[in-house]
Every structure is written in structure tokens, then in C-alpha cells.
Structure 1
Amino acid sequence: MPVVRFYRDGEQIAEIDIAKGNSVMHGAIVAGLNGIVGECGGEMVCASCHVFVLSHGDEIPELSPTEDEMLDFTVETRQPCSRLSCQIKMTDKLDGLVLGLPKAQV
């Protein structure tokens, strides 16, 4: 399974195996990661699964207009590398993905 590494404040806080085809949000919630809320269950209406893509950005599909709009509603200020983890589906190419977590989601 592809591995995702999660960082907060420059320190790695988790390394999670997430099955291909699953969203990063789903994998993080199943693993009990503190930092991904996913209030809407991945329906892209809450922005509580905000992450900062620190590696493999070229392997993730472009933002949809809806995701782009939702990123304007994140608790922590949106950055150029901001994404919603519910929209990042795991593939072999994303093995080793590194994501930063915001200080707060809600």
C-alpha cells in the first residue's frame, strides 16, 4: 500500500498506509489521525480535511472549481500548496506523499 507521511510544525506525526483508490482523508480518519476532521464525509462541503502538499504535487490531479472555492473557507489561511485531502485519491505514484497539517481545522 502507498504510504503518506503527515507533518505538523516541521515534525512528522504519522506515517499511514492508505489503500489505492481511497482518499487521503478516509485513510487518515480510519487510522485515527488527529488533524483531519472530514466533517462532511468527503462530500467537499466543509473544508475540514485541509492539508498542505509538501511532495508529489505534480502527481495529484488539478483542483476542480469546487475544491478551489472550498479552499477559501479553510480555518488556516490557504496556501498555494493547499488541497482538500478528500480529493486526493491514492495511487502507486503517490507512495511517499508528504502532507502538512494545519494547526486547526474547525
Structure 2
Amino acid sequence: MAKITYIEHGGKEHIVDVANGLTVMEGARDNGIPGIEADCGGACACSTCHVYVDAAWVEKIPAKDAMEEDMLDFAYEPDAEKSRLTCQLKVTDGLDGLVVRMPEKQI
């Protein structure tokens, strides 16, 4: 289980426990957190679960694969270093304390 902080674009924080094995996207969906739409349901076929990972976590999470890199090209204002698709971040104990920020909008 990992405690993950989701921060809406306007600054509102949601701190939730997410079970190991789920994705960061599923944690948002299951807890009704606004700002992560996940239109493709986690298939890495859109960019509507895009977030900016807190700078302190960029080096601690697994690297992006080529498919995620391609999908991030379609995200709203992607950041080469901090942008991630939450459907591609599998929750483990190692993600305890992760902080993600939602963009202004999802496209």
C-alpha cells in the first residue's frame, strides 16, 4: 500500500492509500479524484491520465517506455522530465509518498 498525493491544477490536495498492484490512475479513479479522466481505461492509448510527477520523484520511478513517450506527445503541455501517464505507474511500497500534479486540462 502506498500513500499518494494527487494535487488538482487549482491546488486542492487529495491524499489516498492505493493498494499495491493497482496503477496510480486506478487509485485516482477508485477514489473519485478529479483531473484524471483515463478515457482509454488504462491501455496507454490516450493521454487523459497525464500528470506532472513531483521533481523529488522523477528519478525514483521506473523510466517511461516508448509507447508512453509517444502518448505523452498528445498530452496538454507535456514536460520532458516530469510528465507521466498514471496508467503506466504501477503502485508498490516504493511509491509511498508519491506526489503528482494534474495539468490544467486533459486532452
In 1, Cα distance between equivalents of 2:16 and 2:88 = 17
Q: Which deviates more from structure 2 when the two are superposed, residues 8-17 or residues 28-37?
A: 8-17
Give TM-score, length-normalised by structure 1. Answer: 0.92
Aligned to 2:62: 61
Unpaired runs of 5+ residues, structure 2, are none
In 1, Cα distance between equivalents of 2:94 and 2:57 = 8
Q: Work out whether residues 8 and 34 of structure 2, in 8 Å CA contact, stay in contact via their aligned partners in 1.
A: no
Unpaired runs of 5+ residues, structure 1, are none
Runs of 4+ off more than 3 Å = none
In 2, Cα distance between equivalents of 1:26 and 1:7 = 15
TM-aligned CA deviation for residue 58 of structure 1: 2.0
Matched, 1:95 2:76: no
Give TM-score, length-normalised by structure 2. Answer: 0.91
Count of residue correspondences: 105
Q: Work out whether residues 72 and 84 of structure 2, in 8 Å CA contact, stay in contact via their aligned partners in 1.
A: yes
Letter of the aligned partner of 2:18 in structure 1?
I
- Percentage of matched positions with identical amino acids: 40
